[in-house]
Chains A and B, each alone.
Chain A
Amino acid sequence: MAVNPKKLRPYDQPPRIREPIVPSQPDAAATTYLVAAVLWFGVATALGALWATQQIFPGPLSLKTELPTFRGTLTFEISPATVSGGFWTALVYGWLTNAGLGAILFITPRLLGRRLIWEKIATGSAAALNVGLMAGLAFVYLPQIAAKGTLAEFPLPIDGVILLALFMANVVFWRTLLAAGQLVPYISLWFFGLALLASMGLYFLDSAFPLIGPSDTALALANGAYVRGVETLWVTGVAIGTLYYLIPRATGNPLYSAGIAYLGWVSWAGLSTLSMLGALADTSVPFVITQLGNAATLMLVAPAFLAVANLALSIRGRWSMILSPGTVPLAVVALAFFTASALLESIGSLNSVRGLVGRTEWVTGVQLFAYFGMATFAFLAMADHAFPRLLRRDWRETILADVALWATFAGTAVAGLALIGGGIDAIAGTMRWFLGGAAAGIGLIGLGALAEVVNLFFIYTSAPRVEYSVRDEVVVPTGEAAAGAAGQ
């Protein structure tokens, strides 16, 4: 047989292994999403600190310049309005959405006992989402192109890319769930399923609505309802589903009651959908519709309490775990913030309270409690549990975990309370102190984000490789660590 000289290799050169462009090994998608989420966490907190500081010193921290393009000049603007859009975009779409999708793709195969079907599509959705978000975030600072809202409206092509990513994630989840054939899946999957459908549906409606040429009022109302839906259906739904997996898993206890969990899911699904109507506050909207939404927001305290009580009772006998750094204390802090934000949202839905603080920083402070408090700590707990397993590293908790927990907790409490206090207290002279407190608080959260990024870096670069054994919960060392252990 003739020899092809091109296929000859030196005997000591290993054969080339062609890596696929889109990885397809197990948990590739979850790893991509969670790593991206941690990086976005840092970006979001940096933008948040800038936004809060700009409320105090808008002039020195603003910039406006003209950029020449082949189609004329574009205004590049760094102002409180654009930075606000960038902050909320990076926080909700960057950090929380990436972390939520990562949590879903990590937990789903483990609950179903089978690999994700079409893992490549899931990994591709991670790439599409983050490419779209980076482009969208750049356009936020070009106000002639991107509309301004609490969650900035991206140009249509970017909306299409992000919508495609959400659709791909939905396809993978539902295909895997249906293939597993479980009659009554675990409660986490119920939350994930509705949250995924809601995120895709809401994003589609919010992107498509401007195309029919509505009035500015209708656009503003739709954006308000969309923001409310993202908070209650998407972010809160995924966070609760994540906690329902993490707490029993981390403590080794069974869930206290599946009945409470399903009752909470039913009430959450209905009331969260109705609560979006509370954002439709305008003279063109019948008051009864707005009031229905407010009443639903008031009643959201029920599913919140059911979830918190169910999970707290699931920790019984293992409360000492919150005294050491790890998944459980992060999850417990998430439950505490969930209780606080649910109570504050309910109080804020009352007519008399809305009249006082409805258009003040009080609302922003409560949103910070929900986003930076409950959801962030749920996903930090997820990251703490998942990263050593995804990266196959033996990693014990270090001071970085303490820094991440306490800095984020203190920062969220300070920032949220500062904005809530600023909304209640109308003395303009001291408003700067409240805004300064918010800036300091978000800066602290940024410190926690930095600690998390550094923690992830050390996990990947410094920790020895291991394979986790599920049955015995024993870390089986491999390689040098195994040789060292064998020699002892």
Chain B
Amino acid sequence: MTVHTPIQSANRRIPGWAMGFTLAVVVAGGAYFGTNLSGHNPPIGGPPPSAGPPDAHMVIAKAGCMACHGPDLTGQVGPNLHHVKDGPTSANLKQLGTDHPDDWANIWIAGTDPAVSDPAMRMGMPAFAAPPYKLTPEEIASVVAYLKTLP
């Protein structure tokens, strides 16, 4: 014997509130579509559309700089990142700052310091982080530009 469990419905009409809600959503969706046609898609896998240059705060947060340099970047395990607009504050970076006065910070963060002869030691920032946490050149430039604004 086949079990038959038909389901009845109390009424077949579409109530006014249901039709009204549906129409309101369709109108709102159509209006949203019509008023947001100017824009561009980012490359797939690239940065979100609303970002121009990478936001330094977002980069610093996602890369975990505060874990070593402190919540306000005044130093903890890692050195104080304030005053870098005047040049490197760490003794081991003085020579780098002399040799590359404009982009010493970019070189150090990227891990391409030529003074560090052993490539294995050129870890770059964030230290001890495995890919994909290494920063892109655009992110490094954004972070350095931000650090140079710190008092």
What is A's interface to B at a CB cutoff of 8 Å?
Answer: 26, 58-59, 109-115, 186, 188, 217, 220-221, 224, 244-245, 248-249, 254-261, 263, 267, 281-283, 285, 287-288, 290-292, 294-296, 298-299, 301-302, 305-306, 309, 350-352, 354-356, 358-359, 389, 426-429, 431, 468, 470
Contacts and interface: CB of A to CB of B under 8 A. Distances in A.
Question: Most B CB atoms within 10 A — which of A114, A288, A299, A301?
Answer: A299
B9 A283 contact: no
Contacts of A292: 33
B39 interface: yes
B6 A291 contact: no
A302 B25 contact: yes
Residues of A contacting B: mostly: helix
A291 B31 CA distance: 12
Size bracket of the B interface: 35 or more
B48 A256 contact: no
A283 B11 contact: no
Given A109-B2, A299-B25, A257 B40 contact: no
Contacts of A299: 25-26, 28-29
A254 B10 contact: yes
B55 to A, nearest CB: 9
Contacts of A306: 18, 21-22
Given A115-B2, A352-B50, A359-B48, A282 B7 contact: no
B117 interface: no
Contacts of B30: 295
B64 A254 contact: no
B131 to A, nearest CB: 11
- The 10 A-B residue pairs with the shortest CB-CB distance, nearest first, are A355-B50, A113-B4, A259-B14, A295-B33, A299-B29, A258-B9, A302-B25, A428-B64, A255-B9, A282-B44
12 contacts: A254-B7, A255-B7, A256-B11, A257-B13, A258-B12, A260-B15, A282-B44, A291-B36, A305-B21, A428-B61, A428-B62, A428-B63
Interface of B: 2-15, 18-19, 21-22, 25-26, 28-30, 32-33, 36-45, 48-51, 57-58, 61-64, 66-67, 130
B7 A298 contact: no
Contacts of A110: 3-5
A309 B5 contact: no
Contacts of B42: 281-283
B64 A267 contact: no
A355 B49 contact: yes
Nearest to A257: B11
B29 A295 contact: yes
B31 to A, nearest CB: 9
Contact of B4 (A285, A301, A470): A470
B41 A298 contact: no
Contacts of A188: 7
Nearest to B7: A248
Contacts of A356: 48, 50
A19 B117 CA distance: 75
> What DSSP secondary structure best describes chain B's contact surface?
loop
B62 A259 contact: no
B39 A291 contact: yes
A428 B42 CA distance: 24
Contact of B8 (A254, A267, A283): A254
A282 B22 contact: no
A107 B14 CA distance: 25
A217 B38 CA distance: 23
Given A254-B7, A260-B18, A351-B36, 12 more contacts: A113-B4, A248-B8, A254-B10, A256-B11, A267-B22, A292-B33, A295-B30, A351-B39, A354-B48, A355-B49, A358-B49, A428-B61
A353 to B, nearest CB: 9
Nearest to A217: B44
Contacts of A257: 9-15, 18
Nearest to A182: B6
B96 to A, nearest CB: 26
Contacts of A301: 25
A429 B64 CA distance: 6
A260 B42 CA distance: 39
A30 B55 CA distance: 53
B44 A220 contact: yes
Contacts of B51: 355
Given A287-B39, A351-B39, A355-B51, A281 B5 contact: no
A256 B17 CA distance: 14
A112 B5 CA distance: 8
A123 B11 CA distance: 37
Nearest to A263: B14
A287 B36 CA distance: 10
B7 A426 contact: no
Most buried by A among B4, B44, B49, B67: B44
A248 B8 CA distance: 8
A248 B42 CA distance: 46
Contacts of A220: 44-45
A3 B39 CA distance: 89
